[in-house]
Structure 1
Amino acid sequence: MLIQKIETFCDSFVGFVRITTDDGRQGWGQVSPYMADITVQVLHRQIAPWSLGRDALDIDHLVDTIPEREHKFPCSYLYRAMCGLDTALWDLRGKLEGKRVCDLLGGTARPLRAYASSMKRDITPQDEVRRMLGVRDQYGFDAFKFRVGAEYGHDKDEWPGRTEEIVAAMHQAMGDDAALLVDANSCYSAARAIEVGRMLEANGVSHFEEPCPYWELDQTREVREALSLDVTGGEQDFYMPVWKQMMTSKVVDIVQPDICYMGGLTRTLRVARMAEAAGLPCTPHSANQSMVTLFTMHMLCAIPNAGKYLEFSIEGADYYPWQEGLFVRSPYDVKDGCVTLPDAPGWGVDVNPAWLEKSRYQVSEVS
């Protein structure tokens, strides 16, 4: 079964990929969101030439061969584009076998505990607390992640005192039974991250994400060694030697690869297996309601070292207008703080034809 055609449908934020084989079978995937219109050009220029006419079921070979053939471009865009190929082929395989992707991996669908993940920093502590109480009461969440520091802030806060105020306010409002997680998005030096981390520990926070610039592995390890809460990271990383160094140097307590940034499910599973061998849980980054959260749900249902939670963004049309109307039926129903996979084979979701009609279309195919 050979790859005959690779089609893309995109806007600036989202790029869906449809692969058709020489016998007419199809699978759907997605390139990494954000700048998707650029990413699909990489897909057609640098991924498709090494994929067309190749075995559609030998996904491992493809995701290994493409970076070798494009070795002059060891960059994020190559992997963001390759995710579209990889995930469409997994969907194809699931539909061929009549199985969900998690079942192909030897897993079993189960309710996944989700944490309510806020993306906002330009929000007052009082308004953030109100939002979190609202989603707790409406959807049953019992775990909540909010933002501290300023994004790549060089030890600066979004505004003076915000971090201390929001941490105390969330702890007081949610109580000791709620799980509290924070994301610093590379804000702090090691010394300042340790200071902030001790304040977090005193307020019941259990998860401190990306405390230092993500490429400064030694700084992050210093923070992990100084604190008792979980120091986490990895969402930006796609290069396997970096992952190996993170594991062997014990940089983090929990690894957080992003399936779309990594180049797809296949390579992310390799990171999860590395983490399992190192005794580390894997809680992938899935910060929007495009297909990345669905990919992550399938993976968490299949890996033995799945972390405690699924990251589930609480942002709607005011923050992510581009994620509206992507699917015929949303796969993201939250009940009692949990989400469950759809029953259909493959990824189990259908892209909305109305969205496709408005998108920019491009095709690469065997001549």
Structure 2
Amino acid sequence: MRRDIKPADEAQRLARLRDEKGFTAFKVRVGKVTGHDEDQWPGRTEELIPAVRKAVGDKVRLQADANSCYTPKMGIQVGRLLEDQNYYFFEEPCPYWELEWTAEVAAALKINVAGGEQDNDLAQWRRMVRLKAVDIAQPDICYVGGLTRALRVTQLAAEAGLPCVPHSANLSLVTVFTLHLMAAIPNAGDHVEFSIEDNPWTKGLFAPALEVREGKVAVPAGPGWGVEVSPVWLEKATRQVSEAK
């Protein structure tokens, strides 16, 4: 997902990846990160939403991520545009800490509202479920505090009848962890978040590398997490060490 790209170019890029890799779902960015109702540039979101749908066709599932951009009023307006183009979910429409705002948007729209990637407090997750702020839960294993805490979130979601589509925004170990998590829970969503962007720092981190074939990526099947972290990568990596005193 990118915001620094013209809507027509993003639409063409996703259509090409559909044909080359077999992807059956994509997520696009709308609005501006914590943008106070502003767009990345005027008119971008209104142009992007239908352009991507037209380019990839009706059989591809589409989602949109607002990254905490909107107030409820504007979030509902953008949500209506997404509904008109049959998008599947609307992620983080409001500032993630404003759960009441997000709940207001979710109550007003038919499209699924997704969220939770930023949240690492289990009490906040319980509140999110209680408020019915989201229809799809998106814990990030690395943000939430590891696999055990992520499993607690998926259980909270399952008890509320919510599917989980964990946040895994780059091809580091978080995607490896996420694949294993989704394979282990009963309420996993239909698709895993798999980055199509170039993140140079993740290159060579582990082997074997994750590969998309016919729109699918396999859960690593070796011992443990199924991959080996490269000692060469670790040796070259920048380190920050903290000590308790």
What TM-score do you get using the length of structure 1 for normalisation? 0.64
Give the letter aligned to residue 211 of structure 1: P
Of structures 1 and 2, the one scoring higher in RCO (CA 8 A, sep 6+) is: 1
Alignment of 1:102-181 (within 5 A): 118=1, 120-181=2-63
- Quick check: which one's strand share is greater? 1
Give the letter aligned to residue 326 of structure 1: L
The aligned counterpart of 1:47 is none
Give the letter aligned to residue 223 of structure 2: P
Change (3 A) 1:163 1:289: same
Separation (CA, whole Å) in 1 of partners of 2:197 and 2:90 = 21
Give the letter aligned to residue 169 of structure 1: A
Give the letter aligned to residue 244 of structure 1: R
* Cα deviation digits, residues 43-83 of structure 1 (max 9, x gap): xxxxxxxxxxxxxxxxxxxxxxxxxxxxxxxxxxxxxxxxx
The aligned counterpart of 2:168 is 286
Give the letter aligned to residue 248 of structure 1: R
Separation (CA, whole Å) in 1 of partners of 2:66 and 2:238 = 35
- Mind listing any 5+ residue stretches in structure 2 that lack a counterpart? none
- What SS does structure 2 have at the residue aligned with 1:311? coil
Alignment of 1:263-302 (within 5 A): 263-302=145-184
The Cα of 1:329 is off from its aligned counterpart by: 2.5
The Cα of 1:353 is off from its aligned counterpart by: 2.5
From 229, 236, 239, the equivalent of 2:111 is 229
Separation (CA, whole Å) in 2 of partners of 1:334 and 1:359 = 26
Give the letter aligned to residue 11 of structure 2: V
Give the letter aligned to residue 243 of structure 1: W
Separation (CA, whole Å) in 1 of partners of 2:161 and 2:87 = 22
The Cα of 1:342 is off from its aligned counterpart by: 2.0
* Cα deviation digits, residues 111-164 of structure 1 (max 9, x gap): xxxxxxx2x101101111121112111110010100000111100000000001
Separation (CA, whole Å) in 1 of partners of 2:230 and 2:13 = 29
- What SS does structure 2 have at the residue aligned with 1:172? helix
The aligned counterpart of 1:239 is 121
1:322 paired to 2:189: no
1:353 paired to 2:223: no
Contact 2:12/2:55, CA 8 A, preserved across alignment: no
Separation (CA, whole Å) in 1 of partners of 2:110 and 2:71 = 18
The aligned length equals 242
In angstroms, what is the RMSD of aligned CA positions?
1.4
Separation (CA, whole Å) in 2 of partners of 1:286 and 1:239 = 18
The Cα of 1:335 is off from its aligned counterpart by: 1.0
Change (3 A) 1:215 1:206: same
The Cα of 1:205 is off from its aligned counterpart by: 0.9
Separation (CA, whole Å) in 2 of partners of 1:159 and 1:151 = 12
Contact 2:176/2:220, CA 8 A, preserved across alignment: no
From 167, 180, 199, the equivalent of 2:81 is 199
- What SS does structure 1 have at the residue aligned with 2:88? strand
The aligned counterpart of 1:70 is none
1:262 paired to 2:144: yes
- Mind listing any 5+ residue stretches in structure 1 that lack a counterpart? 1-117
Q: Give the percent of matched residue pairs that are identical in Structure 1 and Structure 2.
A: 57
Give the letter aligned to residue 204 of structure 2: G
- What SS does structure 2 have at the residue aligned with 1:304? coil
The Cα of 1:279 is off from its aligned counterpart by: 0.7
The aligned counterpart of 1:20 is none
> Hey, which bits of structure 1, 4+ residues long, moved more than 2 A?
359-364
The aligned counterpart of 2:185 is 303
- What SS does structure 1 have at the residue aligned with 2:152? helix
From 199, 203, 219, the equivalent of 2:101 is 219
